[in-house]
Structure 1
Amino acid sequence: MPMSERNVLGLSAAGFHKIAYTQWGRDDAARTAVCVHGLTRNGRDFDRLALALADGWRVACPDVVGRGRSDWLPVPALYGYPQYCADMVALIARMGVETVDWVGTSMGGLIGMTLAAQANSPIRRMVINDVGPFIAQAGLQRIADYVGKDPVFEDLPALESYLRFILMGFGTISDECWRHMAEHSARPLPDGRFRLAYDPAIGEAFKTAPIADVDLWALWDRVRCPVLVLRGADSDLLSAETAERMAERGPGASGLVRVVEFPNTGHAPSLMTDEQIAIVRNFLAEG
């Protein structure tokens, strides 16, 4: 299926910035899907899922600003959900469609939930991967312990080893997938070494205020589209209790929420295994 690297402009208080995205599938596909990654990741995490969808969807996998091939913001305080949501609206406008299917991992799931809660939202069906409207302080603290650090790696195998440790919650995935993530998580340095392909300043938000529980239930209660909630059984970010409540209130009260849990997985399911990809595809295809 066709794959291309593209860009669209976003606007912040500091001016315009490039939002890079990878597109899979045909421009004239009947459906459009947007897949948005987690806090320190990038759109190439969805290559396997996007390829599996590309026969029926046009799939856009953006690098949220400050990550991957996208620009870095000159003012760290601008990194946050208002900017991320505005940028995704610009991307949807570029796609030129009235509705999209949404797949969001962690941060990408919260962006999707925020957009889906708005009146006249373009989100038709939504997959939220291992995040929800209540996030306990402990899970946020674990992320705060590594986000924003700027390690230097002698080579790609060293960077891959780091990712295998930091992202162990992804569960059992192939060596090929780990190498793929390392290659697309690397920022080459002039001396042949590597840094991570994200702006360390994205971690500033964790330093400006004490880390506390996050309660977004009022947002969840305004979501009206069908939602598939994915959870790693060992996740410290989406508890089983929160996932259960998601199935009971908000869109869950109308029978629009389905919860699937994956064993031997933490935060977050990789969406790179055949089983996980099939579950996402089947859910999106139901509509």
Structure 2
Amino acid sequence: MPSGGSSSATSSWAPEPLTATYRERTATSGDLRLAYQEWGPDDGPVILALHGFGVSGHMFDEFGQRAADRFRLINLDQRGHGDSEWSPDGDYTREAFVADVEAVREELGLERFILMGHSMGGLNAVEYTFQHPERVSALVLVDVGPEAAKEGVDNIMRFTRGPDELDFDEFVQNAMRFNTRRTEENIRERMRHRLRPLENGKWTWKFDKRFREGEGAVRSGSQLSSDELWRRFRELAPPVLLIRGEQSDILSQEVAERTAGEIRNARLVVVPGAGHSVPGDNPDGFTDAITGFLADLDEGAFPEPDATPIPIPEDIEELRSGWRERERRFPGVPLIAGIAVGLAAVAATVAFVFSRFRRGRSGEA
């Protein structure tokens, strides 16, 4: 596995070549070695990026070329993808991906960081943020929401589960048909990171071949229901930037708007001329969306939510114990007891909210 080297790539979108370089590194999670590409200065604000299914951290190369002067970028090859090792027991559950992120964070000594995730990586980022909210200062979700359009998912599955061994040029031609927004030069560069050579002279995908063997070959995804996944998004604590590709066949505009609307501190940006693979389809628009969001965050555009707890009446436990005593003496009253305690809590909440409203009104006057 590569470690400690330096590589560079140029973008076909910029009027002049971009010369930022990355360092190839490795970290460990349990017995697995995980590869990642590191861009930018060691003391810059950290963005840890999680790619989508079937690709690698290199999907953020164009962003790295544009943002390495301002940020320290850690673009992880998630388990079973890119140059990271495959899971011996086929564990690609969301819990396993989240554990990997936490292991990398611990090894690199990151206290708080900006977390970014695309598609599958976005769902992993949401779950990590749910489990470790104190670690994530801001969350960037790229073309992912609680719901995905079936047609777009089927398109990705057809592309990644097509012929497994081909000449390199055949893979390039298939990729150009799959995504017509890219130049051939860019496709060739991307496929160089997604494929590995075989002894017979053919090439094949780098990601774990068991993903292509059908249902049951690996353990993947999450046991969360649709409602539970929506709840995960709603309960996100840090400020969230949701980026949608204007031509995405995965994240509909309707779902994107609903998702951003139900998150407490969220901004939705639609990047023109981009499909599902926003970072490479329109790297300038993608970079502008992120840097603008983070600049506004630094200027206080996303204030911390009011953490003042709702007061609970001091005698609430006395009420509960009194009703428990009555229940022992007069069976059949637990429902009435619950209603009484509930009404007491509701009354306290209403009084608190009203007092906050009155203070706010008097402050405006």
TM range (shorter): 0.7 to 0.9
Larger relative contact order (CA 8 Å, sep ≥ 6): 1
1:121: which partner in 2? 134
For residues 62-83 of structure 1, give each alpha carbon's deviation from its aligned partner in whole angstroms, at most 9, with x where no partner exists: 111111110011222x112111
Task: Give the distance between the partners of 2:284 and 2:239, measured in 1 at CA.
Answer: 23
Matches within 5 A, 1:65-76: 65-76=79-90
Matches within 5 A, 1:19-168: 19-29=34-44, 31-76=45-90, 78-149=91-162, 151-155=164-168, 157-166=169-178, 168=179
1:174 to 179, 183, 186: 183
1:275 and 2:294 aligned:
no
1:200 and 2:209 aligned:
yes
1:284: which partner in 2? 294
Change (3 A) 1:176 1:245: same
For residues 21-40 of structure 1, give each alpha carbon's deviation from its aligned partner in whole angstroms, at most 9, with x where no partner exists: 011112222x1111111101
Task: Give the distance between the partners of 1:162 and 1:191, measured in 2 at CA.
Answer: 20
1:219 and 2:232 aligned:
yes
Q: Is contact 1:135–1:214 with CA below 8 Å preserved after alignment?
A: no
Task: Give the distance between the partners of 1:98 and 1:218, measured in 2 at CA.
Answer: 26
1:258: which partner in 2? 267
Task: Give the distance between the partners of 2:203 and 2:56, measured in 1 at CA.
Answer: 16
1:3 to 13, 22, 41: 22
Change (3 A) 1:221 1:82: same
Change (3 A) 1:2 1:266: closer
**TM-score, scaled to structure 1:** 0.85
Task: Give the distance between the partners of 1:226 and 1:121, measured in 2 at CA.
Answer: 12
Q: Is contact 2:272–2:285 with CA below 8 Å preserved after alignment?
A: no
1:245: which partner in 2? 258
Q: Is contact 1:79–1:202 with CA below 8 Å preserved after alignment?
A: no
Q: Is contact 1:5–1:20 with CA below 8 Å preserved after alignment?
A: yes
Identical aligned residues as a percent: 29
Q: Is contact 2:133–2:238 with CA below 8 Å preserved after alignment?
A: no
Task: Give the distance between the partners of 1:107 and 1:224, measured in 2 at CA.
Answer: 20
For residues 134-181 of structure 1, give each alpha carbon's deviation from its aligned partner in whole angstroms, at most 9, with x where no partner exists: 2344443443444455611223x2221122233x2xx62333321210
Task: Give the distance between the partners of 1:143 and 1:98, measured in 2 at CA.
Answer: 35
SS in 1 for 2:181: coil
For residues 1-53 of structure 1, give each alpha carbon's deviation from its aligned partner in whole angstroms, at most 9, with x where no partner exists: 55211111112xxxx11110011112222x11111111011011111211222
For residues 95-129 of structure 1, give each alpha carbon's deviation from its aligned partner in whole angstroms, at most 9, with x where no partner exists: 21211112211011111111122354311112111
Change (3 A) 1:172 1:40: same
Q: Give 1:204 shift.
A: 6.1
Task: Give the distance between the partners of 1:98 and 1:37, measured in 2 at CA.
Answer: 22
Query: Where does the alignment leave 5 or more consecutive residues of structure 1 unmatched?
Result: none
Task: Give the distance between the partners of 1:161 and 1:126, measured in 2 at CA.
Answer: 35
Match of 2:37, as an amino acid? T
Query: Where does the alignment leave 5 or more consecutive residues of structure 2 unmatched?
Result: 1-19, 299-365
SS in 2 for 1:164: helix
Q: Which has the higher helix share?
A: 2
Task: Give the distance between the partners of 1:52 and 1:91, measured in 2 at CA.
Answer: 24
Task: Give the distance between the partners of 2:193 and 2:71, measured in 1 at CA.
Answer: 23
SS in 1 for 2:75: strand
Task: Give the distance between the partners of 1:200 and 1:238, measured in 2 at CA.
Answer: 26
Deviates more, 1:56-65 or 1:45-54: 45-54
Change (3 A) 1:138 1:173: closer
**Number of matched pairs:** 271
Q: Is contact 1:232–1:268 with CA below 8 Å preserved after alignment?
A: yes
2:196: which partner in 1? 187
What RMSD in Å do the two structures reach over aligned CA positions? 2.5
Larger Rg: 2
Change (3 A) 1:34 1:158: same
SS in 2 for 1:134: coil
Q: Is contact 1:148–1:200 with CA below 8 Å preserved after alignment?
A: no
Task: Give the distance between the partners of 1:117 and 1:148, measured in 2 at CA.
Answer: 32
For residues 178-205 of structure 1, give each alpha carbon's deviation from its aligned partner in whole angstroms, at most 9, with x where no partner exists: 1210111111111322111111223568
Q: Which has the higher strand share?
A: 1
